[in-house]
Chains A and B, each alone.
Chain A
């Protein structure tokens, strides 16, 4: 199979990830914080090692400010709902994923207002348009780093500076960038960073996390057992315990630790270079196929390894099915859980077909995919 659905979840995983998950399941690893035996302590050290590797990856000074979640969606919900209160105002972009758009919409019922900064037709937001939306009660700017539809990369450093200068918190949704585009929370003035473990970080599904800077104190999404301050009815104040109630996904974290180590060894910069080369090859090939319309930044402009397109008026669902049937290509059609972004790109009626290469995608696979798209556009494939 030619796997071009890395924006949904990455595959293959690096060598050692499955082994690390399996080892966590077969060697009776204990439950961190719950008791005193060696397996528990070993498990706690493994979890801590993963926090430290993530901290190194994102330039985070204090690894204890990273809490594990099940995915980026949970991290975003935790961040947004843990910060804003009735009467607060939030700014997001018109490219957001539903994991930002829906929580903000739901919060409107409790008196939280939000404004949407309109992106340009390629999906990029101008920081000046964000600045114009700032109100006296603006508490938070939440922005996706890279679009899961167009691959457009937002000017995060400029937005971070703007947020810092205006005393507003900055939450970055790194669902499509963590592991693919360098991120430094200090240099970029990011107060909260939500990331999945199973996409660019190449870990198992069911993993993710949220970084919370020391100047932010979040309300937890859930309260419960943390293995600390057990006699108190109140949730502990220390991080990450404050936000991590219940047993952690230790097999997932074991796999994530191994995959993050692989990313660190290869370096995000090297992954970014590889993915940029592959993506630009894909874009230049699509540009030569009659009837193909590509959305997002122009050829040659840096973008995440995400390419959305349509072939004339063909249903993207049909195109995806034909690409799998005729060329064994895995890709994603539809609206990609990002209705707001499709309104921005002008594809709200149709959706798009999305090809998303990954760190292990080869040029030869891109060539085969392009040949298959060209054949489909010519009408060579007939069911």
Chain B
């Protein structure tokens, strides 16, 4: 079953988003960005259900956090595959 992975530069951004979503009753997982998606090294990511993608995009805009990208994740364990779902530009 497909999941959504949203990658970020910093764990601080991930922690802010996770706590913000948690207050809305939405639980998302925090994790390290997989090596294959980690262009600059040592990034962090949020994993959520596809149904939560819109909310997550909205929260990123509201909190003015620009993700490194949105990905659809399929497969399990070491056989995970990622398909880009684009990015999100935040007006500054």
Contact = CB atoms under 8 A, between A and B. Distances in A.
B31 A231 contact: no
A64 B10 CA distance: 11
A48 B16 contact: yes
Q: Helix, strand, loop or mixed for chain B's interface?
A: mixed
Given A41-B30, A48-B19, A52-B19, A232 B12 contact: no
Interface string A160-179: 00000000000000000000
A64 B16 contact: yes
Interface residues on A, range: 20 to 34
A63 B17 CA distance: 11
A207 B55 CA distance: 35
A238 B18 contact: no
A49 B42 contact: no
B88 interface: no
Interface string A33-52: 10110000100110111011
A62 B63 contact: yes
A116 B41 CA distance: 46
A110 B7 CA distance: 41
A214 to B, nearest CB: 7
A232 B64 CA distance: 23
Interface residues of B, number: 22
A232 B11 contact: no
Contacts of B9: 228-229, 236, 238, 241
A158 B44 CA distance: 42
Interface string A219-233: 000000011111110
A78 B13 CA distance: 22
B91 to A, nearest CB: 12
A86 B81 CA distance: 52
A214 B15 CA distance: 19
Nearest to B92: A214
A44 B40 contact: no
Contacts of A227: 10-11, 42
Contacts of A127: none
A155 interface: no
Given A41-B30, A232-B41, A240 B12 contact: yes
A32 interface: yes
B53 to A, nearest CB: 22
Nearest to B20: A52
B61 interface: no
B59 interface: no
Contacts of A48: 12, 15-16, 19
Contact of B15 (A47, A231, A236, A238): A47
A45 B10 contact: no
A241 B40 contact: no
A226 B10 contact: yes
B3 interface: no
B43 A49 contact: no
Contact of B32 (A36, A47, A63): A36
B4 interface: no
B14 interface: yes
B12 A44 contact: yes
Given A35-B32, A227-B10, A229-B42, 12 more contacts: A32-B12, A32-B15, A33-B42, A41-B30, A47-B12, A62-B64, A64-B16, A228-B9, A229-B9, A229-B43, A238-B10, A240-B12
22 contacts: A32-B15, A35-B32, A44-B12, A44-B15, A45-B18, A47-B12, A47-B15, A48-B12, A52-B16, A62-B64, A64-B12, A214-B64, A228-B10, A229-B40, A229-B42, A230-B42, A231-B42, A232-B41, A236-B9, A236-B10, A241-B10, A241-B12
The 5 A-B residue pairs with the shortest CB-CB distance, nearest first, are A231-B41, A230-B42, A230-B41, A48-B15, A229-B40
